[in-house]
Structure 1
Amino acid sequence: MRAIVYRRTGDSSVLELSEREIAEPGPGELRVRVAVSGVNPTDWKARRGSGSAAATGETVPNQDGAGVVDAVGPGVTDFAVGDRVWLAISGWKRAVSGTAQEYLITLAERAFPLPDEVSFDVGASLGVPAVTAHRALTVSEDAPARLHPGALDGKTVLVAGGAGAVGHAAIQLARWAGATVLTTVSGDEKAALATAAGAHHVVNYRDADAAAQVRGIAPGGVDLVVEVAAGANAELDQSVTHERSTIASYGNDGGAPVTLDFGRAIMLNLRYQFVLIYTMGADAWIAAGEDVTAAARDGALAIGAEAGLPVHRYPLEETVAAHDAVEGGVVGKVLIDVASE
């Protein structure tokens, strides 16, 4: 079978198209025929030898994807041959289980049912972005730990970077769950994308009065912040929250130090929750898998320019270009066509 591999870390030139044997699944494993592979920032960071998903030895890149179960290992009862699935962090601590190959062996716990009405493209776009967004939206003291329509009724959520993949998923999941959604972006083009994703209100974080704009929309403060740049946005986040608000941070784009006003934070009982899905607990994974699947089934996690997340596609043999696009900061979702649907 065709597979993309790298045997040393580095820039995208280490990626090469190779032939690998089709393996048999062991206990607790599935073999999946991959239709579409999704590319995330975590994938190029791992390829460069940094980040949570970095691996050693021969490695097949890309954590997320979608396809069809081709074989089932001993002890697996939740899946059968022919089931459509979406995959999340398939290659976590399993170097050759990345999705940039025609067939992969993955743990059954890293696969989730893909409803018939949901495309492989959407399925390959879930994984890291949607699970991260789900985790960020469910860690508040005064909010539910599960998402469903109505779960966030009456809540106000601020999503930083609403034009990014995680921000896009957070907007969609929060809207699906009933929240009022604000988002911050850097300009008009990204504002249009965030609005298309479903944000009720958009603020340019570069405006000197960005915090005042947020307060004008949510005078009492926001209940939850989904944060991509914890350091750069620390002052903004702390100035628009209220008692027992939560700032759920999954990234620190720009690398600025995270500075806290301790007095203000303690008086508000402010909660900072750092979000990394690779090390979150099993119960959180079960919740995310079920809720994200339900949202996708309801059509709440659409992709494409009209839904606020432009799609950029590449064939498997152009995985180098796909990685370069993500590493270069392309706006939208990068997908790799591995096999026809």
Structure 2
Amino acid sequence: MKTIVFSGAGDSTVLSLVERDLPEPGDGQIRVRVHRSGVNPTDWKRRSAGDPGFPEVTPNMDGAGVVDAVGPGVLSHAVGDRVWVMLAAHGSPYGTAAEHTIVPAAHALPLPEGTSFDTGAALGVPAVTAHRALTVAEGGPSRLEPGALDGRTVLVAGGAGAVGHAAIQLARWAGASVVTTVSSAEKAALARAAGAHHVVDYTGGEPAAEIRAVAPDGVDIVVEVSAARNAPLNQAVAANHATIAIYANNGGDTAAFDIRPHMMLNTRVQFLILYTVGEAALQAAAEDVGAALRDGALPVGEEHGLPLHHFPLERAADAHDAVERGIVGKVLITV
């Protein structure tokens, strides 16, 4: 099979297209014929740092395709099943930038007929991260479904990003009033297309006042991509018992918080990362994302707020570079 591999840390030039033997699934695993591979910031960061656990690694966590082999003990999947894949390359040399990948059966979820492989490959890290951010508040909910966030106001920082896009869609599907911040008119249009009720350009005017105008009691959940930069804004708009769910360090590795104002509001600051969140949380997210998918709540494409950028497998390095440069939208590799 054709596959992209790297053996050591470095920029995208360490990625090579090679031929390798077709891998066979082991106990509890399935093999997926990959149609689309999704590229996330975590993929180029992992490549930059290298992966000392394996002599050779295929990158990319997310993807979508068709099951073409099942390992011993797998009863949940059959050859021919359409699936979307999450965390394929976590603890494994088999990422999705290849014609085939091997994944635990529990990390390959049903992709409904009529749902594109593009949509399936755009889920994974962004949607599961968004789900986790929306379900860590002190008063819940711990699961998402229509009505689960009724009466809550959610602030999504960076609503034009992939996680921001998924957070807007999932929060709206669950019944929240959704506010998002963006840095341009173009990104504002994307956030509205994703379903945000209110969009605020944080580069001008008075963002806190604009958010308070639509959420006078404050926001209940903040889905935060840039805690260092946004700490003052979050403090200004937090409701009593607000949760600030931090999933990335864009804008700086160190954030400063004023203790007493947050203390008076009983604010919860919750960090999250999928690699150590635990299988129970991953499966809960996958089930809820699957329900939203079946409800048609997670469309992709520019008309839905997430432009798609396709690259062929042999240009995987260009795909990684595009994500590292911060391209707006979702980068997909067509396999």
CA distance in 1 between counterparts of 2:255 and 2:52 reads: 25
Query: In structure 1, which of residues 291, 295, 314 is the aligned counterpart of residue 311 of structure 2?
Result: 314
The Cα shift of 1:235 comes to 1.0
Which amino acid in structure 2 is aligned with residue 185 of structure 1?
V
Matched with 2:80 is 82
Contact 1:46 1:55 in 2 (8 A): no
Matched with 2:265 is 268
Query: In structure 2, which of residues 72, 97, 102 is the aligned counterpart of residue 100 of structure 1?
Result: 97
CA distance in 1 between counterparts of 2:24 and 2:291 reads: 30
TM-score when scaled to structure 2? 0.97
In structure 2, the CA distance between the partners of 1:54 and 1:255, relative to structure 1 (3 Å rule), is farther
Which amino acid in structure 1 is aligned with residue 269 of structure 2?
Y
Matched with 1:16 is 16
Matched with 2:122 is 125
The Cα shift of 1:216 comes to 1.0
The Cα shift of 1:54 comes to 7.7
CA distance in 2 between counterparts of 1:256 and 1:5 reads: 30
Which amino acid in structure 1 is aligned with residue 138 of structure 2?
E
The Cα shift of 1:117 comes to 2.5
The Cα shift of 1:57 comes to 2.2
CA distance in 2 between counterparts of 1:202 and 1:54 reads: 43
CA distance in 2 between counterparts of 1:54 and 1:309 reads: 34
Which amino acid in structure 1 is aligned with residue 76 of structure 2?
D
Which amino acid in structure 2 is aligned with residue 125 of structure 1?
A
In the alignment, is residue 191 of structure 1 matched against residue 188 of structure 2? yes
Contact 1:129 1:165 in 2 (8 A): yes
Query: In structure 2, which of residues 284, 299, 302 is the aligned counterpart of residue 302 of structure 1?
Result: 299
Matched with 2:32 is 32
SS in 1 for 2:7: coil
SS in 2 for 1:231: helix
TM-score when scaled to structure 1? 0.96
CA distance in 2 between counterparts of 1:55 and 1:86 reads: 25
Counting matched residue pairs gives: 335
1:68-79 mapped onto 2 (5 Å cutoff): 68-79=66-77
CA distance in 1 between counterparts of 2:55 and 2:153 reads: 45
The Cα shift of 1:113 comes to 1.2
Which amino acid in structure 1 is aligned with residue 38 of structure 2?
G
Matched with 2:57 is 59
CA distance in 1 between counterparts of 2:329 and 2:35 reads: 19
SS in 2 for 1:76: coil
Contact 1:46 1:54 in 2 (8 A): no
Which amino acid in structure 2 is aligned with residue 170 of structure 1?
A
Matched with 1:332 is 329
CA distance in 1 between counterparts of 2:211 and 2:25 reads: 51
SS in 1 for 2:49: coil
The Cα shift of 1:143 comes to 2.7
Structure 2 residue runs without a partner (length 5+): none
Query: In structure 2, which of residues 215, 220, 237 is the aligned counterpart of residue 218 of structure 1?
Result: 215
The CA deviation string for residues 292-334 of structure 1, in whole angstroms up to 9 with x for no partner, is 0111111111111100110000111111111111111100000
Which amino acid in structure 2 is aligned with residue 257 of structure 1?
T
The CA deviation string for residues 30-55 of structure 1, in whole angstroms up to 9 with x for no partner, is 111111000001111111017xx885
CA distance in 1 between counterparts of 2:9 and 2:254 reads: 28
Displaced runs of 4 or more, over 4 A: 53-56
Contact 1:45 1:54 in 2 (8 A): no
Structure 1 residue runs without a partner (length 5+): none
Matched with 2:106 is 109
The Cα shift of 1:8 comes to 1.5
- Alignment RMSD (CA, Å): 1.2
Matched with 2:141 is 144
Contact 1:117 1:297 in 2 (8 A): no
CA distance in 1 between counterparts of 2:52 and 2:97 reads: 15
CA distance in 2 between counterparts of 1:249 and 1:323 reads: 24
1:187-266 mapped onto 2 (5 Å cutoff): 187-255=184-252, 257-266=254-263
The Cα shift of 1:256 comes to 5.1
CA distance in 2 between counterparts of 1:57 and 1:14 reads: 13
CA distance in 1 between counterparts of 2:221 and 2:82 reads: 34
CA distance in 2 between counterparts of 1:211 and 1:109 reads: 42
